[in-house]
Every structure is written in structure tokens, then in C-alpha cells.
Structure 1
Amino acid sequence: MLARMSADSRYGFYEFFCGGGMARLGLGRRWRCDFANDIDPDKLAAYRANFGDDDLRPGDVAGVAPDELPGFADLAWASFPCQDLSLAGPRSGLKGARSGVFYSFWRLIEALQAEGRAPRLIGLENVPGLLTCSGGDDFTALCAALDEGGYRFGALEIDARWFTPQSRPRLFVIALRKDIPIPADLALDDAPGHLSPFHTGAVQRAARRLPEPLKKNWVWWALPVPPRPNETLIHKIEAPRAVPWHSPEETRRLVEMMNAPSRARLREARKAEGPVAGALYRRMRVENGVKVQRAEARFDGLAGCLRTPGGGSSRQFVVWVRNGRVRTRPMTAREYARLMGLPEDYKLPARESAALHLSGDGVSVDVVAFLRENLFEPVLDHARACALAAE
């Protein structure tokens, strides 16, 4: 079992839609999990296998009662479902059956507020499509809920590629109770005059669309730009002899399915002196009015954004090129886990599809750790220092 929180853990949190506990891992050993909830049996089994079930409450979040949330939390984290918000989905937004469970989570926060124990911080994670779904109305509705609940808020679009070799942009809405001061160096006075790594054009446009009363509670969180990671995809995949590969015929079929840009990238990879690791997805594209399946490959050192294995086109493949020879195979569940920042001793579900789903549907451990180090802990430590100074 993974290491528990240290005995002197000073921060407490609730983790909603906890999945396999990736936010918990990102928060680290100084943070104490007081409550965790999910509905998926496979994810719950993985959570128990890695952390035990002392703090775990299985089931639909709509069935959780406020008195099941113990004590007082510094942070309530919610990686709520993205299916109705994703650009690849139906875009039914927060009115959809899946993404709409945000309101079941928010009902609990409102109940805690009424009891005088609202969490100091709220961390919401979802796809960037939340910014534009329903013409931006869903994002406005979410910000309005935070405002009415007594929080100031701001959004950051953070790509996991800053920390691990996976292209995985995600939106993080971070809200702080209005009665808690913000350290001067953690918030910009105004919108950045240029596009920053985390205040992307989509974030800035969404902020500008908000009604004036909500804009007054918007926070431009100021985070440092991290150094680029040294590791690339080739450092995260298994040694070539450790895993089975496609037959030459299967590889040939994938190569024949490649679109023109992918074939050009493959030609360049074949010219390399050393081994090159690439990533490939099969996708349905419309060409001349007809749907065709294409294989799209990249050789920039990154994996594509991991997905849940809902169908054949959502499984990612490894493309290995050495001395002009091309081999392909499905990416393994352990490789998925590494790209999400899960440690090697993390116990994945035994069933491969469940293990792939756990990673593809999770939050990057490294991004949560980045937020913890550069935002959550500085804000909370500053609040405690101010409270002590006022005594």
C-alpha cells in the first residue's frame, strides 16, 4: 500500500469523483484525506488497494449527506465528469446527465457553508471545453455558483506536458473563500497583457464574457512557469523486448491508414540515427464527404492525450522506429499510468480495460502537485499567518 500521510499532516481535504486517488497523490503526505467519494467499482477497488478505505464513501455523490463530511476541510477537490463538456462529446453541458453531477457536489458545499464549515479552497478540474460549452453559459453558471457560495475564483488552463510527456490540456478553476486574504504575489492586478502559459486565449475570453458582478470576484492566479521536463515518451515506455508487438501485417495496415502529415513525420523518424518513439491514435475523419478511419502519429516526444477505452479509436499506440524499421503495439496500462504521474508501486486494476480507464479518466498527479506547491499551500499558510498576527 502506498505511503500514508505523515503524522504531522497539516492540511485536510475532501476528494470528490476521486477515481484512483490521483489528486490525493498530487497533494502529498502533508495533506490528510478526510473524505473520498466515487461511484465506479473498478476505481473504488484501486483506491482501496492503494490507500485503504477508511475515508472512502462509495456511491453516487447525490446520495452523500452533509453530515458524512467530517470536520472542516482546507480544500474540496472535484474532478467532475467531462463527457457533456468535451468537444468530442454531445456538448449538453452542465444540464447533461454526466457533467451535471457538479450540482450534486455543489449542494454539499452549500450545506457546509450553512453550517459554518465551508472549505477554504475549491479545486475543480475538467476539460477546456467547459469554457465555451453552451456559448459560455455553463462556465458563467459555474462562476455564479462559486460567487453565491462566498468564493472568489479564477481559471487556469494547464497542460500536463509541462511535467510529463503527454499532451493533456485541462481546465482548473480554483476558488478561495472571500474572507481569506490572497498573498500579493499570488494574484495579478489585471489580466495579463499577453497570452501566458496558463491564462490562455480561451481563459481570457471566458473571463471577459462574465457579467460585471462576477468579474469583480475573478482572480488572475499568478503561478510560476515551470521548466520543461527532461523526459520524453521514450523514457516512459517499456523496453522493446519486454512487450509483444503487432505482426508486420498489423503494422502495415496502420501505416497505410496514416494521413499525409503522419506519413511525412514517419519518413523523418526513419532517418534518425537512434531509436524514435512515437504515439498514434486511430480517428474517424470526413474526407470528401465520407467518413474514413485514419491513423494519426506524432514523433515530438509526447504521447497524445490519454482517453478512456470506449472504443478501438480511443486506444493509443506506440510506434517504434529504429534503423528504418517500424513496429507498432498498443500502449500498456502501466505506460498510461506513468504518463499520468502514478508511481511504479501504484496497484492498477487487474483488468486491462479498467486500468486504462482509470488513467485515461484521471487528473495528472504532477499538475495537482504543482498547484499544491505554488498555490494551495502558500494561500493557506498566508491565511494562518494573518490569523496569528491578528490574535
Structure 2
Amino acid sequence: MAPFSFIDLFAGIGGIRLGFEAIGGRCVWTSEWNKFAQQTYISRFGNEHAVEGDITKVAAADIPRHNVLLAGFPCQPFSIAGVSKKNALGRAHGFACDTQGTLFFDVARIIEHHRPEAILLENVKNLKSHDKGNTFKIIQRTLEDELGYEMHYRVIDAKHFVPQHRERIFMVGFRDKTSFDFQALKLRDLASGPKMREILHECRNDPAMPPYTEGEGKVAAKYTLTPRLWEYLQAYAAKHKAAGNGFGFGLVGPDDTARTLSARYHKDGSEILVSQGPGMRPRRLTPRECARLMGYPDEFPIPVSDTQAYRQFGNSVVVPVVEAIARHMEPHLQGLLKPARKSRKSKADAVAA
């Protein structure tokens, strides 16, 4: 396989990077603003290049050339006031007008400058309906009509790969025409999909993994809910059930699939509580179990506090989902790879070399 390079934008703790390294890619540049996420990222990937904090302050020319752009960018609304005014005046406008002030603008300007062979963007499922569909419409128009990429979109539920219901939209783009078919990516049959027993300490009879377990699958006591919190969650669920709402805690056992892990999990753990038997108070997942729920291997470091770890895994992609997409993209990417394009080197290229 021909080697290829990629950049990792809004990298979090590196979940998308892991998926593309699995098919032989080499990361040449990273951006991530959160200092705690940077800490985890660097503890896993090292310091082969700096992790830039504020992408809005980085010139596209100072980013190394790359074959693939990866970005799990935040979902932000675009202001349509300026666009409407220009339409009324009959003036042309483009993504520089449509997306100015959003972080997608930075993704677009980097794509415009470097013209990578392929791109992968990831976002929440509701991106397509966000701001009454305006957000997705502008993203699609920017990538296809203005930047000229052949784009493919698919919502994938992670429960094909891990015991968690987690739907995300993935956008795959190629600079040139390909025969890529996103719908042809085969997913594991849900009937035989993974269950919680595959990640739970007690089911795996994990040895001591301080500070998470005390040996022989015994989870540290601090992860069991306090009587007061458990009473509150039960009362809260009963209140909303009586009102006809679906709000409440999510209680799981070894043969279940969990709800979506969120960045707020550190607050009360209510969306995924592990049953510890009749009459016993449930417990939160440990950060290591959260890592497993997101498809990270056990050797992946967790150098931060539990609170920060819960936030990081709750914001992450599911690694095996990304790897499956990367492998599906691989033959089409290989068909587009060409000898390095002759162009003026940026100072970042010189450093990367």
C-alpha cells in the first residue's frame, strides 16, 4: 500500500487518527484547543509534531501538505443575513461569506488551499436538521459546488461495533471522481452485535487496574452511586414517567446495549448505570469501561481525572467505526494518490520534512 499523510483537525483525544493509522496513514499536523484533551493526545501519540490550539489563528499555508483531511468539527449555525443581502443585491457570495466566523470555515479554507485527495468529516446525526437544514445545505454546497469534491454521506450507529447506541453522520469526499459507494460498507448484524459484558470489569474478571478496580473484577467502591443520588434519580424518573415523558436513567446489565455516552456523564452517570443486582445501588462506568465503550484498546492511556476522562470519551468518535470507514475509503484513496505535487513549500512543509 502506498503511504499517505493526513491532518487531524478538532482532534479530541485522537479517535479518528487511530482509525486512519490502522490503514497505514501518517499524521503530520494536529489541532485541538482543549488542554486536557491535548494532554491525553500527547500521552498516546507523543510530540512528533506540536498540537496547535487555535485553528483560527493558523494560516493554511503553514499547515503541511497532506493527502487526507480529517475533522470532527463542532456543529455551529451559519448566519444567513449577509447571504440574503448579497442575493438581494445580485452579488456573488461563497463559503468565505456563508461560513465566516464558524469553525467549518477553517476546514473549508484549508481544503481550498491544500486540495487533499480525500476528506472525512464527522458530526452529530442532527447536523442534517440543524438550523432547519440550513447548516447542512451550506456545508454540502461548499464541499461539492465550491470546492469541487465528490461527497458521500451516511449516518452510522456505533452499536454495530460496540455495545452503545450512538448515531453519527460521516461525510466522505474525494477530490476526483471515484466509484466509492458509502452504502456498500457492510456493518455487523445487530442481532449478533456486541453487548455490555464485553466491556464490564466484572464480566471480564479484570485484574487490579487502579484506580478503577481492586482485582478479580471488583470495581472500586467510589463508582457506586451514593444513596442520596440514587434516590434522586429514581424520584426524577418517576416524576417524568408520571408526566408521560421518557426521561430517566438508563440501567444496563451484561446482555444489554447502552444509551449514548455523553460529555456530561461525569455529573451523575444517569444515561448508563450498571446494575449490581437486586437491592443494590447501581454504579457508573469507570473511565476504562468508557474507553472500551468507544472502541479504545486497554493500552490507551488515561492520564487525566475521571471528570476529564468522562468528558473526553463522551465527546469522542467510536474508533472501530472510523477504522471501518477508513478501510472502505482505502482502495479509492490509493487510486488517487500521485507523486507529490510540485508547489511552493510552506515553512510548515520544511519543518515536516
Normalised to the residue count of structure 2, the TM-score between the two structures is 0.76
Give the secondary-structure state (helix, strand or coil) at the position aligned to 2:249: strand
RMSD: 3.1
Q: Note the C-alpha offset of 1:145.
A: 0.6
Q: For residues 242-263 of structure 1, what are the alpha-carbon distances to aligned partners after superposition, in whole Å with 9 as ceiling and x for unaligned? A: 2212355654544444349xxx
**Equivalent pair of 1:154/1:221 in contact (CA under 8 Å):** no
**Equivalent pair of 2:162/2:295 in contact (CA under 8 Å):** yes
Q: What residue is the counterpart of 1:74 in the other structure?
A: 67
Counterpart pick for 2:188 among 218, 226, 244:
226
Q: What residue is the counterpart of 2:211 in the other structure?
A: none
Give the secondary-structure state (helix, strand or coil) at the position aligned to 1:142: helix
Name the stretch that deviates more: 159-168 or 231-240: 231-240
Q: For residues 110-167 of structure 1, what are the alpha-carbon distances to aligned partners after superposition, in whole Å with 9 as ceiling and x for unaligned? A: 222xxxxx11111110011110112111111001110211101121000111100111
Q: 1:45 to 1:9 in 2, by over 3 A?
A: farther
| 2:241 paired with 1:258 | no
> What is the CA–CA distance in structure 2 between the aligned matches of 1:369 and 1:67, rounded to whole Å?
29
For residues 278-289 of structure 1, the aligned pairs below 5 Å read none
Q: What residue is the counterpart of 2:331 in the other structure?
A: 378
Name the stretch that deviates more: 325-334 or 308-317: 308-317
Higher relative contact order (CA 8 A, sep 6+): 2
Q: 1:335 to 1:311 in 2, by over 3 A?
A: closer
Q: Note the C-alpha offset of 1:306.
A: 1.1
Counterpart pick for 1:319 among 250, 261, 274:
274
Counterpart pick for 1:340 among 291, 294, 311:
294
Paired residues, number: 300
* Aligned-partner residue type, residue 154 of structure 1: H
Q: What residue is the counterpart of 2:346 in the other structure?
A: none
Q: Which runs of 5+ in 1 are unaligned?
A: 1-7, 85-92, 113-117, 188-219, 261-284, 386-391
Q: What residue is the counterpart of 1:242 in the other structure?
A: 219
Q: What residue is the counterpart of 2:93 in the other structure?
A: none
Q: Which runs of 5+ in 2 are unaligned?
A: 81-98, 203-216, 339-353
* Aligned-partner residue type, residue 225 of structure 1: L
* Aligned-partner residue type, residue 167 of structure 1: H
Give the secondary-structure state (helix, strand or coil) at the position aligned to 1:246: coil
Normalised to the residue count of structure 1, the TM-score between the two structures is 0.69
> What is the CA–CA distance in structure 2 between the aligned matches of 1:311 and 1:106, rounded to whole Å?
34
Name the stretch that deviates more: 48-57 or 126-135: 48-57
Percent of residue pairs bearing the same amino acid type: 26
Q: 1:315 to 1:61 in 2, by over 3 A?
A: farther
> What is the CA–CA distance in structure 1 between the aligned matches of 2:259 and 2:265, rounded to whole Å?
16
> What is the CA–CA distance in structure 2 between the aligned matches of 1:256 and 1:22, rounded to whole Å?
37
For residues 1-391 of structure 1, the aligned pairs below 5 Å read 10-29=3-22, 30-71=24-65, 73-82=66-75, 84=76, 93-95=77-79, 100-112=102-114, 118-147=115-144, 148-177=146-175, 180-183=176-179, 186-187=180-181, 221-228=183-190, 230-239=193-202, 241-244=218-221, 245-247=224-226, 250-259=229-238, 294-297=248-251, 301-309=256-264, 312=267, 316-322=271-277, 324-374=278-328, 376-383=329-336
**Equivalent pair of 2:269/2:284 in contact (CA under 8 Å):** no
